[in-house]
Chains A and B, each alone.
Chain A
Amino acid sequence: MTPFVKTIIPLTLLILVGSVVYFLWHIGNNVGYAPTQPIPFSHKLHAGNLDIPCQYCHTGVDKSRVASVPSMQTCMNCHSLVKADSPHIQKMKTLIEKGDSFEWIRVHDMPDFVYFNHRRHIAKGVACEKCHGDVKSMPVITQKVNLTMGYCVECHRENKASVQCNTCHN
Chain B
Amino acid sequence: MKHYWKSLEALEKNPEFEAAMQKEFLHTPEELSADVEADEKSGVSRREFLRLMGASVVMASAAACTRRPVEKIVPYLNKPQEITIGIPNWYASTCGECPAACGLLVKTREGRPIKLEGNNEHPLNQGKICARGQASILNLYDPDRLKGPMKNNNGSFKETTWEEADKTLQEVFKNIQNKKGSIRLLTGHIPSPATRRLIQEFLGRFENAKQVVFEPLSLEEVSRGQEASYGTPVVPHYHIDKAKILVSFGADFLDTWLSPVEFTNRFAKNRKLKNGSMSKFVCFESIASLTGSNADLRIPVKAGDELKIALALAHELGAPIAADTDGVDRKMIRQLALELKKYPGETLVLGGGYANKGPDGLALQIVCNFINSVLGNDGSTIDAQNSPSLQAGGSYEELFKLIDEMANAQVDLLLIYKTNPAYILPKHFKFEEAVQKVPLVVDFADREDETAALAHWILAENHYLESWGDAEPLKGLFSLFQPTIRPLYNTRSFQETLLAWSPPPLNPLPQGEGKKRETPPPLEGEGRLSAGSVAEGEGWHDYLKKFWQENIYARSGALVPFELFWESALRSGVVDLRRGSGHAPRPFNANALTALKIPGEDNALHLMVYPTIPAYDGRSANNSWLKELPDPVTKITWSNFISVAPEKAKELKIKDGDVVKVKTANAELKAVVHLQPGQPKEVVSIPLGFGRTKAGEVGNEIGTNAFQFISKSKNGDLVWFTQDVEIHPTGEWVQLAKTQIHDHMHGRPIVQETTLAEYQKDPKAGNENPTHLPSMWSKHKYEGYRWGMAIDLNSCTGCSACVIACQAENNIPVVGPERVKRGREMHWIRIDRYYEGDEKNPKVAHQPMLCQHCENAPCETVCPVLATVHDDEGLNVQIYNRCVGTRYCNNNCPYKVRRFNWFEYLRETPAPLAMVFNPDVTVREKGVMEKCTFCHQRIQEGKNKAKDFGVEVKDGEIQSACQQTCPAEAIVFGNLNDPESRVSKMAKSDRGYHVLADLNTVPSITYLTKVRNEG
Contacts and interface: CB of A to CB of B under 8 A. Distances in A.
Interface in B51-73: 63-64, 67-68, 70-73
B84 A123 contact: no
Contacts, number: 116
Interface of A: 24, 27-28, 30, 33, 35, 59-60, 63-66, 68-74, 96, 99-106, 109, 111-113, 115, 117, 119-120, 123, 162, 164-166, 169-170
A99 B875 CA distance: 47
B922 A170 contact: yes
Interface stretch (B276-284, B643-651, B739-747, B940-948): B940-948
Nearest to A23: B64
Contacts of B64: 24, 27
A91 to B, nearest CB: 14
A64 B940 contact: no
B396 interface: no
B871 A170 contact: no
A71 B948 CA distance: 27
Interface of B: 63-64, 67-68, 70-79, 84-87, 869, 871-873, 875, 877, 879-882, 920-923, 933, 936-937, 940, 944, 947-948
Given A113-B880, A165-B877, 16 more contacts: A27-B64, A30-B68, A59-B84, A60-B84, A60-B87, A63-B87, A66-B85, A69-B75, A71-B76, A101-B74, A113-B922, A164-B871, A164-B873, A166-B879, A170-B877, A170-B940
A165 B74 CA distance: 30
Given A27-B63, A60-B86, A66-B85, A123 B75 contact: no
Nearest to B922: A113
B871 to A, nearest CB: 4
A150 B757 CA distance: 60
A123 B947 contact: yes
B75 A71 contact: yes
Contact of B922 (A64, A162, A169): A169
Contacts of B73: 69, 103-106
User: Which 10 A-B pairs rank lowest in CB-CB distance, beginning with the nearest?
Assistant: A64-B86, A71-B76, A71-B79, A106-B71, A166-B877, A73-B78, A164-B871, A66-B86, A170-B936, A104-B73
Contact of B77 (A27, A71, A109, A123): A71
A165 B76 CA distance: 33
A170 B63 contact: no
B793 to A, nearest CB: 29
Contacts of B86: 60, 63-66, 68
B877 A164 contact: yes
A87 B384 CA distance: 73
Contacts of A71: 75-79
Contact of B70 (A24, A106, A112): A106
Contacts of B63: 27-28
Contacts of A96: 77
A77 B881 CA distance: 42
Contacts of A101: 74-77
A120 B875 CA distance: 21
A86 B70 CA distance: 28
Contact of A64 (B71, B77, B87, B923): B87
Contact of A166 (B78, B87, B936): B936
Nearest to B881: A113
B901 to A, nearest CB: 13
B477 to A, nearest CB: 36
A166 B77 CA distance: 35
B79 to A, nearest CB: 4
A71 B879 CA distance: 35
A96 B78 CA distance: 9
Contacts of A28: 63, 67-68
B869 A63 contact: no
Contacts of A60: 84-87
B72 A106 contact: yes
B72 A103 contact: yes
Nearest to A24: B64
21 contacts: A24-B64, A27-B64, A28-B63, A28-B68, A35-B70, A60-B86, A66-B85, A66-B86, A68-B75, A68-B86, A69-B75, A72-B78, A99-B77, A103-B73, A106-B70, A111-B881, A115-B940, A123-B947, A164-B872, A165-B879, A170-B936
